[in-house]
Amino acid sequence: MNAKEDIKSLSREELVSRFAALGQPAYRADQVLQWIYEKQADSFDQMSNLSAALRGKLTASFDLNAVHALKTRNATDTTEKFLFQLRDHSLIETVLIPATPGLTSSSDRHTVCVSTQVGCAFACKFCASGLEGVKRNLTAAEIVDQVLQIQKLSGEKVSNIVVMGMGEPLANYNNLLRALKIINAPWGVGIGARKITVSTVGLVPRIKQLADEPMQIRLAVSLHGATDEVREKIMPVNRKFPLKELLAACDYYANTRKRMMTFEYILIDGVNDSLEQAHKLGAIAKRLHAKVNLIPYNPVEGLPWKRPDRDRCKMFQHTLQSHDVTSTLRMEKGTDINAACGQLRLQTERS
């Protein structure tokens, strides 16, 4: 029988009630939280202010680590990529990015890009994560532990979270929210809600639901096309949630939150990089007071897509500027370590 619970999936309240059931006072639960989130303990046996009997009980009742680092790879620009194995041997990727122009401004920032699913069901034509479908949702503990393990392995305090790794975060809504509350909590990882950005392929009902959450996290929407015709070609999800509905949901989010949202727009040569698309994107972003992150496409082995040349990317950006829209042309980091989206995992699984 294996009825162990993942301790990193639990809120403080839940842990306190588990401790009450074990006949333990609340302050013991707080001591354990401190060991986990501040002192980076990786076994209950290290928790030296608890009795041996309690440590034994905790070891029997809870799993402490949910992800295990298999590989790390350093890019020349200091982006660091981690391949984690889960207890069922599934593989996921997480990236540590020292500064993310366009996402955060200052270079003392350390941003972690977390995964939320093993694989992805949405099958965007250009993306490596969706090539083999979705295997399962990550648990809250598996999401939280990516951040904790990276803090431990790198020795850096993580300041920002972008949920832009493998998977569609809003398709794993409940575990995502549970994890983000733990990441945000003062007793947990302690990262401010405004330093957390969730990126979605565009799940309309979930965007509205997120807008109504009390936690003020930031939203990024993967647009990648400014008309249904272009977006549909590369993102099958557009058939279910066409642009009109998606933009209405974005409007709702922006109005509920009174915060600027972001559109991500990857630039793929000859597919979505025309100046006509740029003008349409400019009009959309202007109307929604949204910022645009332009990302020159990262080629994926086996896929036919290419990035446009630098001048074309610049022209696209200039066109957005002519609509008075703020954009960043993200010279993406970590291309040399396959930091883009599911590529390290894909290569490891195939070899």
Q: Mind telling me the catalytic residues?
A: 93, 341
Is 246 among the residues that bind ligand SAH (CB under 6 A)?
no
Residue 221 backbone phi and psi in degrees, to 5: -115, 130
DSSP, collapsed to helix, strand or coil, labels residue 174 as helix
| Nearest one of 296, 264, 298, 351 to 128, comparing CA atoms | 298
Determine the interface stretch with ligand SAH among 30-38, 103-111, 194-202, 204-212 (rule: CB under 6 A): 194-202
**Cβ pair 96, 150 in contact under 8 A:** yes
Is 127 one of the binding residues for ligand SAH (CB under 6 A)? Answer: yes
Binding footprint of ligand SAH, residue count (CB under 6 A)? 17
> Does residue number 197 form part of the binding site for ligand SAH (CB under 6 A)?
no
Please state the length of the chain. Answer: 351
Nearer to ligand SAH, 22 or 303 (CB): 303
CB of 308 to ligand SAH, least distance (A): 12
Judged by CB under 6 A, the residue of 9, 24, 137, 222 near ligand SAH is 222
Judge contact between 72 and 154, C-beta under 8 A: no
Smallest separation (angstroms) from ligand SAH to the CB of 348: 17
Q: Is 192 helix (H, G, I), strand (E, B) or coil?
A: coil
Q: Please report how close the Cβ of residue 343 comes to ligand SAH at its closest, in angstroms.
A: 8
Minimum gap (Å) between residue 156 Cβ and ligand SAH: 22
Look at the alpha carbons of 305, 310, 311, 316 in this order and tell me if their dihedral is positive or negative: positive
Report whether 289 contacts 254 (CB < 8 A).
yes
How far is 85 from 214, CA to CA, in rounded Å?
A: 32
99 lines the binding site for ligand SAH (CB under 6 A): no
Q: Of the candidates 298, 327, 335, 338, which one interacts with ligand SAH according to CB under 6 A?
A: 298
User: Backbone phi, then psi, for 332, in 5-degree steps?
Assistant: -60, 145
- Residues 7/14, Cβ–Cβ less than 8 Å: no
What are the angstrom distances between the C-alpha of 163 and each of 168, 172, 221, 274, 281?
Answer: 9, 12, 11, 28, 23
Segment lying near ligand SAH (by CB under 6 A), choices 67-75, 193-201, 209-217, 247-255: 193-201
> Which of 266, 320, 337, 339 touches ligand SAH by CB under 6 A?
266
d(CA 277, CA 225): 7
3-state helix, strand, coil in the chain (%, to 5): 40, 20, 40
Applying CB under 6 A, which of residues 37, 126, 253, 263 lies at the interface with ligand SAH? Answer: 126
DSSP character string of 50-79: S-HHHHHHHHHHEE---EEEEEEEE-TTS-
CB 293 within 8 A of CB 264: yes
| Least distance (Å) between residue 9 CB and ligand SAH | 21
Which of 149/200 has CB closer to ligand SAH?
A: 200
Out of 6, 142, 145, 264, the only residue in the binding site for ligand SAH (CB under 6 A) is 264
Assess 297 for contact with ligand SAH (CB under 6 A). yes
Least Å distance, CB 226 to ligand SAH, is 15
- Of 119 and 188, the one with the shorter C-beta distance to ligand SAH is 119
Contacting residue, 16, 97, 124, 288, with ligand SAH by CB under 6 A: 124
By the rule CB under 6 A, 201 interacts with ligand SAH = yes
Q: Does the footprint of ligand SAH cover residue 54 (CB under 6 A)?
A: no
In the bound state with ligand SAH, the residue whose beta carbon lies nearer, of 24 and 277, is 277
Residues contributing to the site for ligand SAH (CB under 6 A)? 124, 126-127, 164, 168, 199-201, 222, 264, 266, 295, 297-298, 300, 340-341
